[in-house]
Every structure is written in structure tokens, then in C-alpha cells.
Structure 1
Amino acid sequence: MVRLITQLTAKEEEMFRNMVRRLNTLVSTAKQLDVRLMIDAEQSYFQPAISRITLEMMRKYNREKAVVFNTYQCYLREVFNEVTTDLEQAKRQNFYFGAKLVRGAYMEQERARAVALNYPDPINETYEKTSEMYHRVLTECLRRIKETKDNSEDKRIAIMVASHNEDTIRFAIKKMSEIGILPEDKVICFGQLLGMCDYITFPLGQARYSAFKYIPYGPVQEVLPYLSRRAQENKSVLQKIEKEKRLLRLELWRRLKRGQLFYKPKG
């Protein structure tokens, strides 16, 4: 490996090499086990390095299918340009492109830092603007998927719609239907946190869409702050929990009235 960043100390360079080695081990194992590895996003001031490394992993391992996915935070003003640039790189260098689309989890930190260091706020002005950006990015990805499908090319783009927003899920399904992308094409999948929005995840699975539950795993002292950050950055989480509790109460009452307390699926 050629030393490109002379500002790194010998110790830092060793740490970087170790990180790349460990990441190669993780990705090669994921490829052997035929599972996907989605690399999460962080604050915008860290993200260029993370994305650069992730794209390098894609270039190396996504030769036959999308194994490695990069995460794109749609509350960032520049995310559309980043996604289209990365899509073009994947096309030019002939590797499969994997993207997990999220709204973003560091809004308060990002804005506070922008004010403290006197640079433009990188975050969209409103939640509605972020939703528009999410839908714009998703539409562009779906458009490119349709292009490859119309040209009878291999499915070289895979998208994870990681969202608890019902409007976004409906938007994705509607767009898929409009352009002829079927659930069984397996190029679009959906994901929600375990314990949240089951009323979204389960119907998706029943309708034959690929639906996943995200399980935070690790030491309690690390996992709890992670979950609290998401609740802090996304106040609508609490509203969704209230809705889910209401739906659960209604379902319990329905089953009690019908004598169907224990659900026994057929088959």
C-alpha cells in the first residue's frame, strides 16, 4: 500500500492498515456466507472517508452481486449528487452498486457544529425537504434499475429502503409498481428496527416484499446510547410507538372477542 497521506503518524497508519484488513475479513466472510454487509453512515465530516473505503470494498467484492452496501443520509443537501456520482463510478468500473437509504441521525450535532465553525448548514431546512430528498434519491435509483431491466441487463443495483415513514414505504411501492419492478425481482428491500413499526414490516413480508428487522447488537453501554440517539434525532419515533400500541390493543381486543387469542397460521 502506497502511503498517500503524509500527515498520518506511523501509529495512525498502522491503525488504518489494521482497519482495512479487518474490513476485508468481514466482507470476504459475508461473501462466502452469501449475506449482505451494510456499512453505516456517520457525521458528514467523517463520511467522505467512510464512503471512499466502502466504494473500494464494493469495487473489490461486488463483482458478481451486491455484497457491500453504502449508507446515504437523505437529510444532507448534497446526498443526491453523492449517490449519482457513486452510481456512475459503479457503472464505469463495472461493479454492483448497493445503497441503504436513511433519513439521518445526527441532525442536532451537524447543525451545532456548523454554527460553531461558521460554515453552511449541511442539513435540509425541514423534515419535508428531507422526505423530498429521500424520494428524489429513491426515484433516481429506481429509474436506473428500470433502465437495466428494459435493456435485459443484469440487476446491478440493489437498494435497502431503511425507513419507519409510512409515506416513504407507500411511495417506494407505488414507484415500483409504476415502473414494473416486482417484489420477486429482489432489487429493493425494506428494513425497520426490531420492536418498531411491525405494522409496516409484517404486511410488506406478507405481500412478498423483502422485509428485514434491524437488530442492534453489542454491549449494553454501547447499544443503549445508540438507540437513544435515534429517538433524540427522530422525535416522530414516539408517535410511531403510540400508534403501534394502539394497533396492538385493537388487535388483542379483536382476538378476545372472536376467541382467537393465539394466532395459528396455516401451513
Structure 2
Amino acid sequence: MIEALDEIAASCKRRRIRLIVDAESQKYQKAIDRVTVDLMRKFNRDGYAAIYNTYQAYLKATGANITNHLAEASKDGFTLGLKLVRGAYILSDNRALIHDTKQDTDDAYNTISQGALKQHIGEFGDTRPFPSLELFLASHNRGSLLAALRLHQERVRENKPTVNVSFGQLHGMSDEVSFSLLQETKQGAVGPGVFKCSTWGSMSECLAYLVRRAVENRDAVLRTTEEYAALKRETWRRIKTIFGGVAA
């Protein structure tokens, strides 16, 4: 298996394709972390992250885990590829390992993402130099992502140290969040990538993944009104354009 992973990682790096290893429930995650960090140690060189590990902000230990991996990156001279999600295994993971409230999880997500953008996590960026890091923020939370984007733009404009950042949402979910990020990027003339993730496989292969995404995004119904309003505005804009009006 390790030889196959090495071959895949090497091929991705040659083609400048990022390989993002997803998170799993806690009974598997320590092994996944170990293998993924070893891949980063081999392939994330010269300031480029070909391999990313996924960190779940809803776990109380995630901040410490990231700090430990930053220490490894600092010691061994590789770039840490950090994909941050909120978490999707609340129904199967040990509840004691998970933050007590959604607000605690939101706070953890924002603290980690903004700490990375400020290059200040734990002792790194304070008493120790901040290692090379690239950030991928995968979320459907508009507030968290726009705050991260604006912080990144601000630091770039002011020539303050920051990290490369990209954003991602599921294909067919929270399109208004994706469009808002793209619009903000246009206005700010600072352009992190915005990506949509598509599932691939048979229904039986994909169903468990999609169910976890539905659980993870139970508040999606609250965004339906926003997306409906955005679609309505765009429909009217196109109608006015077709019939000779001025597009808003």
C-alpha cells in the first residue's frame, strides 16, 4: 500500500496536482495522520504542498495535533498541507472527544484558520519561526470563509506574512458561498482558488459519504433563503438584459 501511495503522490507532484487525504473516524485517524505526514515529508518540498492532511475542528485535540505536525514540518523542513473541516463523524466518534457545542467548534475552526493566515499557532510565530504551510479551508459556513478571505487579502495588501489559501465546498451545496468568495476575490484583486468537490462512484459507494455531509451541514436549510434570493436576483438580471434593460 505504501508503495502505491508513493507512486500516486509522485505522479500528482509531477503534474502539480494536490492530493488531499480525507479524514475518517477516530479509530482510523491516527494511522491516516502518520501515513499522510510521512508522504508530506517526502513530497512537500521546496515550499510547495503536493499532499494535504485533513483536520477536523470539532475534535478537542485538533489544535494540539496541528501544533505537533507543525513541529515535525519545522524539524524536517517540509511544507505542511492543512485542509481544515468542521467534522462529520459526530454519530460514531466518542462524544467526549468532540467540542461540547457548535459554537465551540465554530470558534476552533476560526481560531485555527485565522491563526494559520497570521502565521501564529501555539508557539509557532511567537517563540519559534512559523514553518512552511499551505491552507485549504473546506466549509459551507459563509461567515468563517469570508472572514478568512478578508484577513488574507488584508495581510497581502499590507505586506504582512501569510500563507497560500484555497477554499472548497461540495458540488451542488452552498453555491452562494462559493459565488460570494469568487465575488470578493474579484473586488479585492487577490485570488485564492475556489473549488467544488464532486463525489465519484456508485450510489452504494457514495451514499455513506453524502449522508455524513448532510449530518455535517444540518444548518444548510438556513442558507436556502440566501441561495433563493441570489438565484432570484440573477434571474431578474438576465431577464432585464435579454429585453434591453441595463443589467444591475
What TM-score does the superposition give when structure 1 sets the normalisation length?
A: 0.77
**Matched residues in 2 for 1:62 and 1:233: separation?**
30
1:89 has 2:65 as partner: no
- State the AA in 2 paired with 1:173: L
1:223 Cα deviation after fit: 1.4
1:48 aligns with one of 16, 25, 30: 30
- Identical residues among aligned pairs (%): 33
- The match for 1:62 is 44
Q: Deviations over 1:72-115 (max 9, x none)?
A: 0000001000011101110110011110000000112124xx5x
Task: Rate the CA distance shift 1:123–1:260 in 2: closer, same or farther, 3 A.
Answer: farther
- State the AA in 2 paired with 1:202: F
Task: Rate the CA distance shift 1:179–1:254 in 2: closer, same or farther, 3 A.
Answer: closer
**Matched residues in 2 for 1:242 and 1:217: separation?**
28
1:171-190 matches, within 5 Å, as 171-180=147-156, 187-190=164-167
- Calculate the aligned-residue CA RMSD, in Å: 2.8
**2:229 partner SS:** helix
Task: Rate the CA distance shift 1:180–1:250 in 2: closer, same or farther, 3 A.
Answer: closer
Q: Deviations over 1:154-192 (max 9, x none)?
A: 99210001111011012202322443378xx87111111
Structure with higher Rg: it is 1
- The match for 1:144 is 119
- State the AA in 2 paired with 1:169: L
- The match for 1:36 is 18
What is the number of equivalent residue pairs in this alignment?
Answer: 230
- State the AA in 1 paired with 2:76: Q
**Matched residues in 1 for 2:143 and 2:243: separation?**
31
**Matched residues in 2 for 1:109 and 1:103: separation?**
15
**Matched residues in 2 for 1:23 and 1:198: separation?**
32
1:215 has 2:192 as partner: no
What TM-score does the superposition give when structure 2 sets the normalisation length?
A: 0.83
Gaps of 5+ in 1: 1-18, 115-120
**Matched residues in 2 for 1:51 and 1:253: separation?**
48
- The match for 1:244 is 227
- State the AA in 2 paired with 1:259: I
Task: Rate the CA distance shift 1:260–1:34 in 2: closer, same or farther, 3 A.
Answer: farther
Task: Rate the CA distance shift 1:200–1:260 in 2: closer, same or farther, 3 A.
Answer: farther
For the 8 Å contact 1:28–1:61, the answer to whether it is kept is: yes
For the 8 Å contact 2:70–2:131, the answer to whether it is kept is: no
1:168 aligns with one of 108, 131, 144: 144
**Matched residues in 2 for 1:170 and 1:85: separation?**
28
**Matched residues in 2 for 1:191 and 1:229: separation?**
17
Identify which range, 230-239 or 91-100, moves more after superposition. Answer: 230-239
1:194 Cα deviation after fit: 1.0
Q: Deviations over 1:189-215 (max 9, x none)?
A: 111111122222234334233111111
1:242 Cα deviation after fit: 4.4
